[in-house]
Amino acid sequence: MANPLALTSGEPAGIGPDITLAAWLRRRELDLPPFYLLGDRGALADRAKALGITIELADVTAEEAAAAFPRALPVVDAGRPATARPGAPDDTSADAAMASIRQAVTDVMSGKAGAVVTNPIAKSVLYRAGFRHPGHTEFLAELAATGGRAPQPVMMLWSPTLAVVPVTIHLSVREALAQLSTDLIVSTARIVVADMKSRLGLAAPRLAISGLNPHAGEDGTLGMEDIEVVAPAVEILRREGILAKGPLPADTMFHAAARKTYDCAVCMYHDQALIPIKTVAFEDAVNVTLGLPFIRTSPDHGTAFDIAGTGKANPSSLIAALRLAARMAAAQR
């Protein structure tokens, strides 16, 4: 039996508990891979009660989770209490969320878990508690550091109809422009290709590299960055045997016919990549962190405080994240 997936609690006051419960209840119908939740069993039981759900929770170790999964939702204590009510984070929220992430990484690095799947966090809550990372992606890279060096994390948003990667991630547009470089585009694309080969089973991934400026700079009349920064990166990738094309005008990259010509769109900044995928695949898009020594996926949505504890949360993206994590783990094996 493959190792179970380690699912983090996420923000305890958000919809993470709701979608976790909903996903486990559909485990047989959807043939979901075994997973266990790292968090506070009492908090999860309280949420189930608030939602009117009758469910068996099993206090287990990571090693016991797969055996327990068919009859009960396995919960592994992450060592931090979570007392927040739905929609109302409290002083325990940040500590509980971060402890869950740390334990998940420990479990996957030690071979107890096959992959990490993370429920949504509330970055504003973490920032107030002293969290110094832009988001999950960068925190996971720090936890994966060996010899004092953290790997370069690459954020991919994946769905059956579209996969996108932003070269610069959680930065203002001004900062993204300052950090964008030929070297960064090349190193990002190399990681995308390596992981799509080893973890998604694509023998020769095809990359579409977007331009930075409108119309990919219009031959320099709308900015020289596409000629001086992006085009050299594409040429380096091609010389290495990578199937890359670009720089392409971003406004014509994402219609149905265009999407059939590549396996991943590599874009220059956050919104250039995320707006298209959240438009065409909002329900089933999955956040995947590439470049780490382990597999990590996550639902592509936030904590949704406004509907936490109401029963309105849709577990589709979490279900897709669990399935993709299991698929990637199997491919890697």
User: CB within 8 A of 140, min separation 6: which ones?
Assistant: 101, 105, 116, 153, 289, 292, 296
Length of the chain: 333
Strand order in the sheet with 57-59: 57-59, 73-77, 35-39, 5-8, 115-117, 296-299, 286-290, 154-158, 163-166, 264-267, 206-210, 243-248
User: Is 136 annotated among the ligand-binding residues?
Assistant: yes
Q: Is 31 left (phi over 0), alpha (psi -120 to 50) or beta?
A: left
User: Is 301 annotated among the ligand-binding residues?
Assistant: no
User: Is 255 annotated among the ligand-binding residues?
Assistant: no
Residues 36 and 148 sit within 8 Å (Cβ to Cβ): no
- Taking only Cα atoms into account, the Rg of the chain, rounded to an integer number of angstroms, comes to 20
Rounded distance between C-alpha atoms, residue 6 and residue 322, angstroms: 10
Residues 320 and 286 sit within 8 Å (Cβ to Cβ): yes
Within a 13 Å sphere around the CA of 7, how many CA atoms are in the beta-carbon half?
31
User: Is 278 annotated among the ligand-binding residues?
Assistant: yes
User: Is 296 annotated among the ligand-binding residues?
Assistant: yes
User: Is 287 annotated among the ligand-binding residues?
Assistant: yes
Question: Which residues are known binding-site members for a divalent metal cation?
Answer: 170, 215, 270
* Residues of each annotated binding site: 136-137, 170, 215, 270, 278, 287, 296
Binding-site positions for substrate read 136-137, 278, 287, 296
